[in-house]
Structure 1
Amino acid sequence: MAYLKSPLQQSVVISDIYTFYYHELSKTFSFPGESHNFWEMLYVDAGRIEIFAYDTSFIMNQGDFLLLKPDVFHMSRTADQLAPNSVNISFECDSEAIKLFENRVISLNDQERNLLAEIVKEGFSTFQPRIDTCPESQSGVLRRIDAPFGSEQMIKTGLERLLIQLVRRIANPQNNKLSFPSKEHKENDLIEQIKTFMKENINLSFSLDQLCSSVNIGKSQIKDIFLRRTGIGLQQYYLELKIIEAKSLIREEQYNFTEIAEKLGYGSVHYFSRRFKQETGMTPSEYAKSIKSRF
């Protein structure tokens, strides 16, 4: 019997990547503007950013997604004098479908944010530096020699999947509501409760007993669910959350290192500095200098 092959249809194809950045911006960040002949994705992971593009200015809030089409002049700067974080990925795509994103800011839902988080995590393992510490380069991405097998393809397919899901949501607004299985929905709610508890108690030492009491669940179960859903342990997530907050406070330049250490519940500024360097590879002073040297 002869079999006929059927080429798979490809509705969105990303052929090349130009830049892949996770930006930790200063409170005074201001980008004078540029245009280029490829698509650029901007996602605000924390804070607010003011954008000028498509002949108008607008504010992007945490969770907002924007895709800038080729040759559109765009500028950006920090809004509200707070230090924001953003994801910037630029790429080549000739697919007709993504023209739907022109002049459109989209607030990502939980499913889309999780997918983008997977893409960023893969990018951390694939390209360097993990967090940018120098101005953007026009020489392309810097590949890590220890990148996991197939990591660039994972980024490509992840981005394509994200764009396809967004096209579907925009084109079919009546299907926007997500239907989670009951167990998955409950676990998502639990993860959000855990993260909220940690943020509200970021100035204290981590207490598993207090966390379990707050969300009304046992120790073994909470550790299992959190690790399975996030890929990281509770203690490590809490330590990383403290470092993220420390970075934000350093960039906002309102407190000295001793005050930041106190606000985040570190026993001393020396312990804070040591933990900061263990997590980031830089001392707080070196991190502050790297921020100022970028812009």
Structure 2
Amino acid sequence: MKDFFKYTTVSEEDKNWGLYINVAGKSTIPSNIQYPIKNHPNGYFFNWKNGRTLNEYQINYITDGSGVLENSKGKFPVKAGTLMIIRKDEWHRYKPTKSDGWVENYIGFDGLFANHYLQQNQVLLGQSVIHCGVREDIIDTYYKIFELIQNEDPGNQHIASGLIIKLLGYIVAWQKQKDFFGKPIEKLIQHARFYMREHIEDDINLKKLAEQNCVGYSYFRKMFKKYTGISPHQYHLELKLMRAKELILTTDKPLKEVSYELGFQSIHYFSRLYKKKMGHNPSEVRNTVK
């Protein structure tokens, strides 16, 4: 894709959507060039001495070259495959290495959903740079956003904003998965999840499952939670409750039998736990299909 820069026209409807794009562009900065270059867009120009703050979020993807990003958190090296996350109202500055230059792909966006994702998500919250490599799925998402922004067809802001969320999803997923790529613990976690799905009704000894694979349970539990977001016990319990919901809605089995079949201690414990986790009593769910 050729270099370009484009401000977008943002309507009240776009703002009410909750996430909208202000600017997007791609720029190739050759080596031995003063940065920012003279034709750097108005409103985004800065000098290295003073840096800048923006009234929006930006995610800049460097697909070639190298450089540095500085903000209030510190100084971070940038290389090909680095995502730079610029937060609203955060002082920052960045530049390519003079001998290398770089290729930057950038999107500036804002809105209530942007605030939520960039200020609340624990993965995104503390990140300034993410070295994820030059990934086809990420650059493809950028290019699709670029096409939408350049075409300016009605509703394109709404589609592009969805792709921003997709991009953030890729970033979060990569951050969560990077510690597991190609490691034995990932295979064990996948095996454990499959085993739990195949034995929903059983009382599984998770400690024994870990020990059989020569892994201490505390480490297994920690990594399982990091991988899935919940503990192994909670994961198995969630499977049981989803299976219970399926049986309640699709069979005529008495609730006591459903409770017994899934290994709960008593119908009272089952009902109390079901309501706590699912929001309704099992009997209320059963009544919806009568």
Same fold (TM over 0.5): no
Q: Which has the higher contact order (CA 8 A, sep 6+)?
A: 1
TM-score (norm 2): 0.44
TM-score (norm 1): 0.43
Rg: which structure is higher? 2
